[in-house]
A and B are shown apart, each in its own frame.
Chain A
Amino acid sequence: MSDQAMLEVEGLVAGYGTKKGFVRAVDGVSFRLGKGRFLGIAGESGCGKSTLAYAIMRLLRDNARIESGRILFKGEDLATLEPEAMNGRRWTDMAMVFQSAMSALNPVLSVGEQLTDAVHAHRKVSRPEAVDLAVEMLRLVDINADRLKSYPHQLSGGMKQRVMIAMALILKPDLLIMDEPTTALDVVVQRSIIEKIDDLRKELGFSVIFITHDLSLLVEISDELAIMYAGRICEYGRSRELFDCPEHPYTEGLMNSFPTLSGPIVRMGGIDGHAPDLLSPPPGCRFAPRCPRAEADCSRVEPELRDLGDGRLCACPLGGRARRGGTR
């Protein structure tokens, strides 16, 4: 992990109030994000990864709340910050790019108006200054300045997502949270956007939290990787190493779940069963019912996220004990 923490999440519990009770979609999540680092959070639908992002941004819906835990952003706890103060942090210090770029832009405002609106809302600048900033940002994401006058429907899906990224970065935030930003896009467009984010991060020095279900993508692009399952982080580590040598059986199963473009074509396993209902999660390890290596104790004792050394954390008692060969 790197020197100085941009964001430190400690024991975060967040979820949704429902008729059947409180669903702990994020159940005791802790991690640390260094300055300028790229953290990937991977998990399947319903694992709580989006709730985590919305909780950090304090953008949870009305029926959702942060139950406990701390979100330290540059030393300040966002979890208990007053809404007004939070407004001052959002966009200037931390920004978010949403999955549905198609619907996140206002259809009746031009791209230029939307970009400058964001600037005016948070900074006291003159109109020409705001326009200059908008042009500069569009240039950074490879969109011609004459697109300022375009409306969202005149842009392709990839361009809309670029505009969203330009808009998120226009006030030069320190943290950019991206929730499945490329899921609706085609591979080639996805690739160009990811390369762009990587370039911008190196140029502007912000930290990134990139959330997706597409693990094969994350392994390539992120420095560190957190694997979430049923509201918890089950493994954390440097992405390359996590891919080469997963310690948690769930991570191992995931890494064995996507075919590759090269090498021999071998039958891959995937993972049997399906994710648990978070209203009544299974006792002990939440992955135990699906785990090929589960022992009797696994469904009794809740495993801790243990430090295995060398930046690797794993919530499985088997982690680190038995280094397994032939993971892929």
Chain B
Amino acid sequence: MNGGYALELRSVRKHFPLRGLMARGRFVHAMDDIGFSLGAGESLALVGESGSGKTTTASVIARLYEHDSGSVVVDGEEIAAFRSRAEALRYRKKVQLIFQDPFGSLNPTHTIRQILERPILIHGLAKGKDELEARLREILEQVGLSPAGEYLRRFPHELSGGQRQRVNIARGFAVEPEIILADEPTSMLDVSIRMGVMNMMLDLKERRGVSYLYITHDLAGARYMCSRIAVMYAGMIMEIGPTDEVIQGAVHPYVRLLKAASPSPESGLARTRVAAKGEIPSLIDPPSGCRFHPRCPYATGGCSAAVPALRDIGGGHLVRCVLA
């Protein structure tokens, strides 16, 4: 890794044009000035509510969308549109995406064996039948599906939601990627199953030394999974830093609101009255200046004038607020 980052985004912007006659020239501002880095073997959580741009960010990194400007650097190499299939394959060997929906992301007509061996064959990662078999068994054991032989024969509909998500994760890991982009991997699972999948992902990360970009709306889950957190709001990063500095020492008014609103049984409702007002703004015509200013209790005149910069307040803790 040459001491560099596994992944680095610098001021990445992604706007989606609206379709239709009336909408010409208007855009959904899904990502603006998104910048962060992810070290090798590190885990960063991207936390935000729906419409904050977190999934777009993962999709841009996975090259499902091309970004408009800024740069995405993976392994020291700036990425652009793929010029050949070989290039695309090389990239996907490094970066894998795990989707949220364990029901919709596995082909129902394929067995687990077919689902898992496909990426290994495409990337030519196994020489001969025995090695393929060994790889399949290894990855299934590692995601907690054993005996592996039993699961390889089955179809997705024969598995529970938690087991299906384990297959999804196994598929992501099958090509031995360097970076895993996990888009809300546990949000559709039942509470009692969720913890097992999260623990399994933590173990896999240890064992395989991958980097995680973990996308979630759950602040407590992000804290459990990652050493750093970036909180997004309306297409921008509002605060980023080491997990507990961002959660315990939250500076940005939005992050403090999010924290107060998150369920936390240790405290109880009476203590955490937040009197939350408003909702995330439309990204078609986002508010001028700081995107949180219409809801911010501390907003002053200047807040609507210019977008505040993401400033370092020490120790790698960055905040996008003039009050910080």
Contact = CB atoms under 8 A, between A and B. Distances in A.
Nearest to A243: B265
A214 B160 CA distance: 20
Interface string B237-280: 00000000001100000000111111111111100111111011
Interface string A258-295: 11111101011111101100000000000000000000
B276 A192 contact: yes
Contact of A186 (B50, B193, B196): B50
A161 B247 CA distance: 29
A219 interface: yes
Contacts of A77: none
Nearest to A193: B276
Interface stretch (A107-115, A125-133, A249-257): A249-257
B221 interface: yes
Interface in A70-121: none
A47 B279 CA distance: 32
B324 interface: no
B265 A265 contact: no
A195 interface: yes
B1 interface: no
B219 A270 contact: no
A230 B263 CA distance: 25
A214 B192 contact: no
Contacts of B199: 267-268, 270
A261 B262 contact: yes
B269 A262 contact: no
Contacts of B194: 257-258, 270
B138 interface: no
Interface in B210-226: 217, 219-221, 223-224
Contact of A254 (B191, B268, B274): B191
A152 to B, nearest CB: 15
A9 B134 CA distance: 55
Contacts of A189: 276, 279
Given A186-B280, A261-B259, A192 B274 contact: yes
B162 interface: yes
Interface in A144-164: 156-158
B49 interface: yes
B257 to A, nearest CB: 6
Contact count band on B: 35 or more
Contacts of A157: 279
A6 B21 CA distance: 57
A21 to B, nearest CB: 21
Interface string A35-58: 000000000110000000000000
Nearest to A142: B277
Given A186-B50, A187-B262, A268-B195, A195 B279 contact: no
A170 to B, nearest CB: 23
A261 B274 contact: no
Given A45-B190, A261-B219, A188 B258 contact: yes
B126 to A, nearest CB: 31
B196 A198 contact: no
Contact of A261 (B190, B247, B277, B280): B247
B264 A262 contact: yes
B273 A195 contact: yes
Nearest to A44: B190
Contacts of B264: 216, 220, 260-262
Nearest to A186: B49
Contact of B266 (A186, A191, A260): A260
A259 B191 contact: no
A257 B196 CA distance: 9
Considering residues A158, A269, A270, which has the most beta carbons from chain B within 10 angstroms of its beta carbon? Answer: A270
A269 B272 CA distance: 27
Contacts of B265: 215-216, 219-220, 243, 260
A143 interface: no
Contacts of B192: 44, 253-254, 257, 270-271
A272 to B, nearest CB: 7
B247 A187 contact: no
Contacts of A45: 190
Considering residues B199, B217, B261, B273, which has the most beta carbons from chain A within 10 angstroms of its beta carbon? Answer: B261
A210 to B, nearest CB: 12
A187 B258 CA distance: 7
12 contacts: A44-B193, A186-B279, A188-B49, A188-B279, A189-B276, A195-B276, A220-B267, A257-B195, A258-B220, A261-B219, A261-B247, A275-B190
Interface of B: 49-50, 160, 162-163, 190-196, 198-199, 217, 219-221, 223-224, 247-248, 257-269, 272-277, 279-280
Given A192-B276, A216-B263, 17 more contacts: A186-B279, A187-B217, A189-B279, A191-B261, A195-B276, A216-B265, A219-B263, A220-B265, A220-B269, A257-B192, A259-B221, A259-B223, A265-B223, A268-B224, A270-B192, A274-B160, A274-B162
Interface of A: 44-45, 156-158, 186-192, 194-195, 198, 213-217, 219-221, 240, 243, 253-254, 256-263, 265, 267-272, 274-275
The 4 tightest CB contacts between A and B, nearest first, are: A270-B195, A259-B224, A191-B261, A219-B265
